[in-house]
Amino acid sequence: MAKKQYAVLGLGKFGASVAEELASTGADVLAVDCDEERVQEVSEFVTCAVCADVCDSGAMASLGISNMDCVVVAITGSLDASIMGTILAKDAGVPYVIAKSKDEVHTRILEKVGADRIIVPERESGVRVARSIASGVFLDFIELSDRCRMVEMPPKDGWVGKSLRELNLRKKEKVNVIAIRRGEEIVPLPDPDAPLSKNCNLILIVDRSDVARLIK
């Protein structure tokens, strides 16, 4: 299976954390900023780090933005750059564009220019956003500590119809199931002998080092 390709435009604290976390999943990551120092700081983590103006359509085209599976526009310092980065990514045919917003007005503008998802960093961390992008599986992802993560995900096909006791996920997948969600209902400490339904979601605790393997 071909590697996923992502671009992160804007390498402040939020953008840099998104880029680094995406790269840790094994994806190809293009990181872009107009600040050479910021570019250098992430260059050791990502596939390609480039100093460029995201408002320059020619520069964006030459970097292959149209080939990306997802673009994250992590810019709030310049409204023009945020808007142009979003527009250029959508015009290039990128299927999923995520944009960072600083306030309600900014959010409304990003909605108008076609952002598929809008992030307010005070509500969502860069790591959490990156993992939700990369997995395509996790419905939620929360950092509990440097090593420990809590994720919500539907059961894998091979898990449906089997009980937690049969699956023995703690041993086989190195995860702990702490609850099951059925619609709006959350059932803590679920019955280990009840078969899993395809309509439920599992809430798991997993070590950071095991996250990439869990989503395969």
Residues in CB range of 186: below 8 A, 6 or more apart: 179, 180, 203
Count, residues in the chain: 216
Given this model, what pLDDT does residue 188 score?
Answer: 80
**May I ask the CATH class of domain 5-135?**
alpha beta
Given this model, what pLDDT does residue 131 score?
Answer: 64
Given this model, what pLDDT does residue 3 score?
Answer: 83
Q: Walk along the chain (216 residues) in steps of 10 and give the mean pLDDT of each run.
A: 88 92 90 96 96 94 96 91 93 93 88 88 62 60 70 88 94 88 83 92 84 70
Strand-strand pairing, 175-182 and 117-119: unpaired
CATH superfamily of the 140-214 domain: Regulator of K+ conductance, C-terminal domain (3.30.70.1450)
Given this model, what pLDDT does residue 73 score?
Answer: 97
Q: Enumerate the β-bridge partners of residue 100.
A: 119
Contact 84, 97 (CB under 8 A): no
Domain edges within the chain: 5-135, 140-214
Write down the pTM of the prediction: 0.63
Cα 189 vs. chain centroid, distance in angstroms? 28
